[in-house]
Every structure is written in C-alpha cells, then in structure tokens.
C-alpha cells in the first residue's frame, strides 16, 4: 500500500504539534490537571488529558487517507472521547465499562466478527476489553505508555512492510509521529503532561484491533507477544487484588512498576525504559523468527519465564520493604 508523500508527514507533524501546544494552553487555562494523591506516582500538579492528541491524529488520518479503516477509527474516537470526559469529570467505572462494552460490541457487529463461531466471538470480545483496561491500568508513570505504544506500533509497521500487509501503514506512521510529540513532553523526570485515560484507552484499543486483524489474517496468536510485559504485570496484579477481595477497577499502587517507583524510589524513566527494553527484545525475537516460530510454544514459554522472573522480583521487593 502506498505511503503518503513525504511532505504529508511534515504537515501532519506540524498540525499535531500545534494541536498539542493549543491543548496545553487550554489545560492550563481551565486547570485540567492531575493533582498528586496517596495513589499517585508523581508529586507535582501536572496537566493531564494530553492523549487527546491521539484523537486529533485519528481525525487527521481520516481526512487525508483514502483507505481509512473508518469503523476502527470511529470506535477509537468514541472510546477515547469517553476517556477524556473521565479525565475531566472522573466518571464512575461502571459507566465507563458499560460504554466500552457497547462500543466493542458495535465494532464486532459492524466488522462482522459475530459471524465467527460463538466461542471465537467471546474470546475476541474479552480480548478487546482486557487490552483496553490493561493499558489503562498500566498507565501510571512518566513515559511508560508512550514507549510501550511505540514498541507495538513499530513492530506492526515492520510486519506490515516486510511480511504481510494487514493495515494501512500511514495510520501506523501517523500514530508513531503522535507518540513522538507527546513523548517529548512526557518522557521526562518532571513530565509537562500526562496522556490520561483518553491516551491509554485509545492506545489499548488500537493495539487490540491491530493485533486482532493480524491474528485472523495469519491464523496465529503470535501478536499477543506485543503486550506480554504489560499482561504479566497487570495479570498477576489483578490476581493479587482479587485474592485480597479488592475492586480491580479502582486506583491502587500494587503493580510492580508502581512499587519500584513509589516505594524503592527508582526513577520513572528508568522503569519505563526497562519495561520498553524487555518488550522490544521479545518483539525482536518474534520478528527475527517471524515465519518459522511456533506461536503457541513461543507465547507459553515467554509467559512462563516472564511470570517466574516477575514473581521472584516482586517477592524480593516486598520482602525488602517489610524489613525496612
């Protein structure tokens, strides 16, 4: 599939940069900020909702692309829009979840996924909802969601270019540009802004839909590796919170990355880069063996190894905190 002329990307970069500048001014004027609290991983008031730039990127892509994946983009806009309202008003999690369920079900209907066997449809539905909320749960420190989003966007772009065309590459490049702009302001010791729920939900949905398209086209679950680091931390943390009878949809500080930052005082950037590096190494192993790898064995082996490492590290960290 043809890429945009090179000057398009420059124009898109300038439009998105201008959009980011304007939003930050609006956020400052209207006090759209994240105030530190007991569950926060930051100590200073910071502008939030900068992930609205993803919605602008979706709109720009729709305007300039002839093959625009309309259903995917519109669904992402709705989900991201609700996330932005939550950034402004703190919606009840039941309302957010209900809207997510409706939008995802509508997406499946329009994309004709309901024509698949019922158990596949249920798995797809659960996968989309889980991915959205995993990204939302894991968005808690500077740079983490931006770097993680870059990891899957770059990997998808490589697959799309080198192995199998499954999505318009221009959409991937537009979103990469968007992440670079936000990353300049977010991947810092003292972030200028946070992406908020609008950002994490948009990226969670984008990952899930791209992975789903590729899994169906290749008849392989291998794209799940692109969320493996997030899945291990979020998954084991959810299990821990369920065992403690906690509401998993409410804010907390039990993720390993949160403990490392909040309790052991590691820098946000160090932990974010560490998660990104581990995930990129996994991606590279998959991509370098793309046509030969057994996805089932690779995914299960990767999950087991990461889980063992995760549980050992977390146990050691918690034991150290108990002694201090």
Please say whether the dihedral angle defined by the alpha carbons of residues 259, 268, 96 and 205, taken in this order, is positive or negative. Answer: negative
pTM for this entry: 0.94
Taking the C-alpha atoms of residue 51 and residue 37, their distance in angstroms, rounded to an integer, is 21
DSSP string for residues in 279-309? HHHHHHHHHHTTTT--HHHHHHHHHHHHHHH
Q: For residue range 204-232, what is the model confidence (pLDDT) as tens digits? A: 999 999 999 999 999 999 999 999 999 99
- Chain centroid offset of residue 318 CA: 27
Q: For residue range 119-139, what is the model confidence (pLDDT) as tens digits? A: 999 999 999 999 999 999 999
Dihedral, 311, 313, 315, 318 alpha carbons, nearest 10: -140
Q: For residue range 75-122, what is the model confidence (pLDDT) as tens digits? A: 999 999 999 999 999 898 899 999 999 999 999 999 999 998 999 999
Q: What is the pLDDT at residue 280?
A: 98
Q: What is the pLDDT at residue 38?
A: 56
User: Where do the domains of the chain lie?
Assistant: 6-31+41-323
């Amino acid at each position: 599939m043809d890429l945009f002329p090179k000057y398009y990307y420059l124009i898109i970069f300038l439009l998105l940069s201008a959009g980011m500048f304007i939003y930050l001014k609006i956020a400052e004027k209207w006090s759209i900020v994240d105030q530190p609290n007991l569950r926060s991983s930051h100590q200073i008031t910071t502008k939030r909702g900068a992930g609205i730039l993803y919605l602008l990127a979706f709109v720009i892509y729709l305007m300039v692309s002839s093959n625009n994946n309309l259903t995917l983009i519109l669904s992402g806009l709705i989900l991201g829009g609700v996330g932005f309202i939550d950034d402004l008003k703190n919606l009840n999690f039941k309302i957010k979840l209900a809207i997510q369920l409706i939008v995802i079900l509508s997406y499946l209907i329009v994309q004709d996924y309901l024509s698949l066997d019922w158990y596949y449809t249920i798995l797809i539905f659960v996968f989309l909802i889980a991915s959205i909320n995993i990204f939302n749960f894991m968005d808690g420190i500077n740079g983490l969601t931006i770097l993680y989003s870059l990891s899957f966007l770059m990997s998808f772009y490589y697959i799309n270019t080198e192995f199998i065309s499954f999505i318009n590459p221009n959409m991937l490049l537009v979103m990469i540009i968007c992440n670079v702009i936000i990353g300049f302001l977010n991947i810092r010791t003292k972030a200028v802004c946070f992406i908020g729920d609008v950002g994490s939900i948009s990226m969670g949905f984008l990952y899930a839909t791209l992975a789903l398209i590729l899994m169906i086209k290749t008849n392989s679950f291998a794209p799940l590796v692109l969320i493996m680091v997030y899945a291990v931390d979020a998954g084991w943390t959810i299990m821990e919170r369920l065992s403690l009878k906690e509401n998993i949809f409410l804010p907390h500080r039990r993720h390993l990355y949160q403990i490392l930052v909040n309790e052991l005082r590691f820098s946000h950037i160090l932990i974010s880069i560490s998660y990104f590096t581990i995930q990129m190494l996994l991606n590279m192993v998959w991509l370098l063996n793309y046509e030969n790898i057994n996805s089932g064995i690779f995914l299960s082996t990767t999950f087991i190894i990461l889980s063992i490492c995760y549980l050992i590290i977390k146990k050691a960290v918690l034991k150290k905190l108990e002694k201090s």
